[in-house]
Amino acid sequence: MAKGQTTVSDFAVAPRRSRPLERAATPADSASNPAEPSTETKNADQPQEPAPLGTEADQPANRLIAPTQEARRERATTRALQREDSRVRLRDLKRARDRESKHYVNCPLDYDTKMRLQRAAIENDVKMTVIMKAAIDQFLKDNGY
C-alpha cells in the first residue's frame, strides 16, 4: 500500500464495549457522539453489537464483590481470623527464637591465659568458646549451681 492510498477503512477496528451504567444522553452528546458509527470505522468481519450484561468480562468483577451483606461480613470475618492466626504463630515463633538465642558474656583474659586457651583449642581441634563453656559449666556444677 502506498502512503497516499491508505484510508481508515483499511484497518480493523474493535467493536465498542457497552458500559453497564451509561449516563443519560444529552442533546450535546447526541451531536458529538452519533448513535451509529460512521461506515468507514465499521469492519465487515466484526459487527458492532454491544455485549450483553453479565458476560465473561463482567464476571471477574462480580466474583470480587460479594453479592450480599452477610456474605461480605462472613468473608471479612474469615480473613480477620486468618490474620489473627498468622499473627499468633509469628509471635510464638519469635518467642521460641528468643528463648534459644545466644547470650554472650565478655570475659577479659590476661595474655598468658589467652595463649594457653588458644594452644589447648589448637591441639585438641576444638574452638575456644567450647572450652570456655565446658569450664564454666564444670565450675558451676562443682559449686552447686
pLDDT in tens, 62-105: 566 657 888 888 989 999 999 999 999 999 988 888 777 777 88
Q: Which residues contact 90 (CB under 8 A, 6 or more apart)?
A: none
pTM, rounded to two decimals: 0.34
Cell numbers for 104, please give them: 554472650
pLDDT > 90 fraction of the chain, expressed in percent and rounded: 36
Residue with cell 554472650: 104
